[in-house]
Structure 1
Amino acid sequence: MDKKIPTESLSDYYARTGFAITKDHLPITSESGHFNVRMANICCRKTPFNRRDYLKICICSGKGNGTLVYDDREIQLSQPCIIFTHPSVPASIEITKMSRYSCIFNKQFIEGQMSPDVQYASPLFNATLFPVVMLTEEELDRLNGYFAEMKRLQESDYPFKWDMVRNILQLAIHEGIRLQQQQAVQSGVVRDRLVNSFFSLLNQQFPVDSPENSLKLLTPAHFADLLHVHVNHLNSVIKKSTGKSTRVIIHERLVSEAKALLRNTSWNVAEIGYALGFEYPSHFNKYFKQFTAVTPMEFRQNNMAVSMAL
């Protein structure tokens, strides 16, 4: 990748667009994450070509047209569509005489809300997938309704509004996945059955419901044996479909479950580590810190402090 392509932060975004963060928004530095949704009627505008440290979803509608430059591809936007841009892929959009709903949020805002299987099915989290889903008028109305409701909630005084926003945001992401997969079936492109079987096996292990039962499927070889394929073939198919290795996907799922258990149970760190397949607490501590930069105990203490503050 070209290292000269900049990465735009949330602070950079607000400085570039001139939009203010008001009391209706969670602060950029909030431990609960940041979210913002807005509507814009645009005659002609082009965004800078860059990567982002935040996630973005746009709905484009109207009788205009546009172009999305996504890495080395130019994608023409000539009908209503929803765009899910992966933050690591450099992108720029130029549209003329189109209305645009957009929402931006960081990973903290939706962390732990969606399973890896769902994430790898969405171009928002999987850079190997096509980022644009074309919409019929009925589909456009439904998705616009989701965004309008998120905007209404964002501006409301309801004390649990962000929980509702997260739920509606997930609906929008799921709708994008459903429509994209539906269009893929119609065009004869279907995700490999081996990929679906792998994720089914992976997700059957979660959520972990007892500190006494340790996970058994922890390596690509474990899954390959149960799926009756060579581990190299499994790795190749998973990498092609998701853009990530089998091992990385397993690691991400383990870390996600570890965070959930640290947040939501009274199990001690040793019990959580054992439940996730670690025989010794020191091994779990080292593993968790490798992926999160903090120890399990530090993560638990930080999240307890956030809960008390909220």
Structure 2
Amino acid sequence: MDKKIPTESLLDYYARTGHAITKDHLPITSEVGHFNVRMTTVCTRKTPFNRRDYFKICICTGSERGFGTLIYDDREIQLNQPSIIFTNPSVPASIEISKMSRYGCIFNKQFIEGQMSPDVQYASPLFNPTLFPVIAIPEEEIDRVNGYFAEMQRLQESDYPFRWDMIRNILQLLIHEGIRLQQQQVVQAGVVRDRLANTFFSLLNQQFPVDSPENSLKLLTPAHFADQLHVHVNHLNSVIKKSTGKSTRVIIHERIVTEAKALLRNTSWNVAEIGYALGFEYPSHFNKYFKQFTAVTPMEFRSNSAAVPVL
């Protein structure tokens, strides 16, 4: 039995889509990373619901309401207006879009590594899976945002020797545009939070995705995180509460439950294996914990998810 969560690699992506890796693209094995941008104007089939080992940003500019649906972890998000979609590799996702045109770019960690500060990464849904992945684009800004993709494509197809450096710069602009638009549209106190809060969330997210039942979570309580961050647990709790309006414990619980749902939906692991992977020594403890936050048992959640397939 395969004990790994399905993760689509870049090679899997190209095999699935039938797109060729041409001389205009950096090789997947390149030390400086891989990048590709393209435009499509045809209806797309629903993509597989899985995690990926690459980042993806796309802009959808359909002219009719209800032109697409994004399944993002346990959320179904209707795409009803021009939007930028930032998908984090660790979050299982599937998208179905019709009646639209869109640009999309994919790139791996090596391509963008070291380019964005931790504070910027925390404020972007591309790197922070706790943020909403779909950001509406005001009508007056659609052409400008589309222009970023068009320019990256023009550079990709050019023979300018430093085109990848220019593309990285434009990609950073695009990520910043997403942060700016999201902060304008959503009143989120402290989106760019205290540095300790940013470090806490970075440490929390580093534990995910859980990819094997043999490797259980180690940081499960506020005290565990405080020890790693070399601060008193009361200080950590105070900073997190001020930054988010939630307690440290609640945030940890929410992230564990989110991962539990993904594992129940996307793996063949049994409940005991999932519980152990999430730090529970006994299945009964995991069952009680999961039901406390979801009102159903892990098996009930798995059965309900299987009854309404997302693929």
- TM-score of the aligned structures, taking structure 2 as reference length: 0.64
Task: Quote how far apart the aligned CAs of 1:43 are.
Answer: 2.3
Among all aligned residue pairs of Structure 1 and Structure 2, give the percentage whose two residues are the same amino acid: 72
Name 1:123's counterpart in structure 2.
125
Name 1:306's counterpart in structure 2.
none
Verify the 8 A CA contact 1:9 1:53 in the aligned structure 2.
Answer: yes
Task: Quote how far apart the aligned CAs of 1:220 are.
Answer: 3.1
Task: Quote how far apart the aligned CAs of 1:232 are.
Answer: 3.5
- Three-state SS of the structure 2 residue aligned to 1:176 is helix
Name 1:60's counterpart in structure 2.
60
Task: Quote how far apart the aligned CAs of 1:6 are.
Answer: 1.4
Task: Quote how far apart the aligned CAs of 1:82 are.
Answer: 0.3
| 1:174-219 CA distance string (max 9 Å, x none) | 000000011113xxx32268x23547999xxxxxxxxxxxxxxx97
- Three-state SS of the structure 2 residue aligned to 1:31 is coil
1:236-251 to structure 2, matched below 5 A, reads none
Verify: 1:6 aligned to 2:6, yes or no: yes
Q: How many residues align?
A: 221
Letter in 2 for 1:42: V
1:77-226 to structure 2, matched below 5 A, reads 77-185=79-187, 189-191=188-190, 195-196=193-194, 198=196, 220-221=229-230
- Three-state SS of the structure 2 residue aligned to 1:46 is coil
Name 1:72's counterpart in structure 2.
74
Verify the 8 A CA contact 1:181 1:190 in the aligned structure 2.
Answer: no
Task: Quote how far apart the aligned CAs of 1:137 are.
Answer: 1.8
Q: Cα gap change, 1:230/1:72 in structure 2, threshold over 3 Å: closer, same or farther? A: same
Task: Quote how far apart the aligned CAs of 1:69 are.
Answer: 0.4
Cα distance in 1, alignment partners of residues 185 and 90 from structure 2: 25
- Three-state SS of the structure 2 residue aligned to 1:141 is helix
Cα distance in 1, alignment partners of residues 165 and 28 from structure 2: 17
Task: Quote how far apart the aligned CAs of 1:88 are.
Answer: 0.6
- Three-state SS of the structure 1 residue aligned to 2:194 is helix
Verify the 8 A CA contact 1:42 1:100 in the aligned structure 2.
Answer: no
What is the root-mean-square deviation in Å for CA atoms of aligned residues? 3.1
Name 1:21's counterpart in structure 2.
21
Q: Cα gap change, 1:241/1:101 in structure 2, threshold over 3 Å: closer, same or farther? A: farther
Letter in 2 for 1:104: I
Cα distance in 2, alignment partners of residues 192 and 26 from structure 1: 34
Letter in 2 for 1:86: N
Structure 2, unaligned runs of 5 or more: 201-226, 253-311
Task: Quote how far apart the aligned CAs of 1:78 are.
Answer: 1.1
Letter in 2 for 1:191: G
Task: Quote how far apart the aligned CAs of 1:4 are.
Answer: 6.8
Cα distance in 1, alignment partners of residues 247 and 14 from structure 2: 34
Letter in 1 for 2:116: M
Verify the 8 A CA contact 2:44 2:96 in the aligned structure 1.
Answer: yes
Structure 1, unaligned runs of 5 or more: 203-217, 246-310
Verify the 8 A CA contact 1:82 1:133 in the aligned structure 2.
Answer: yes
Letter in 1 for 2:189: V
Task: Quote how far apart the aligned CAs of 1:244 are.
Answer: 9.4
Verify the 8 A CA contact 2:60 2:103 in the aligned structure 1.
Answer: yes
Name 2:238's counterpart in structure 1.
233
Cα distance in 2, alignment partners of residues 32 and 181 from structure 1: 31
Verify the 8 A CA contact 2:190 2:243 in the aligned structure 1.
Answer: no
Q: Cα gap change, 1:200/1:20 in structure 2, threshold over 3 Å: closer, same or farther? A: closer
- TM-score of the aligned structures, taking structure 1 as reference length: 0.64
Task: Quote how far apart the aligned CAs of 1:231 are.
Answer: 2.8
Q: Cα gap change, 1:201/1:20 in structure 2, threshold over 3 Å: closer, same or farther? A: closer
Task: Quote how far apart the aligned CAs of 1:96 are.
Answer: 1.2
- Three-state SS of the structure 2 residue aligned to 1:49 is coil
- Which of the pair has the greater relative contact order for Cα pairs under 8 Å at 6+ separation? 2
Letter in 2 for 1:8: E
Letter in 2 for 1:98: M
Cα distance in 2, alignment partners of residues 143 and 152 from structure 1: 15
Letter in 2 for 1:139: E
Letter in 2 for 1:49: F
Deviates more, 1:37-46 or 1:141-150: 37-46
Verify the 8 A CA contact 1:44 1:97 in the aligned structure 2.
Answer: no
Letter in 2 for 1:28: I
Cα distance in 2, alignment partners of residues 51 and 42 from structure 1: 24
Cα distance in 1, alignment partners of residues 197 and 142 from structure 2: 30
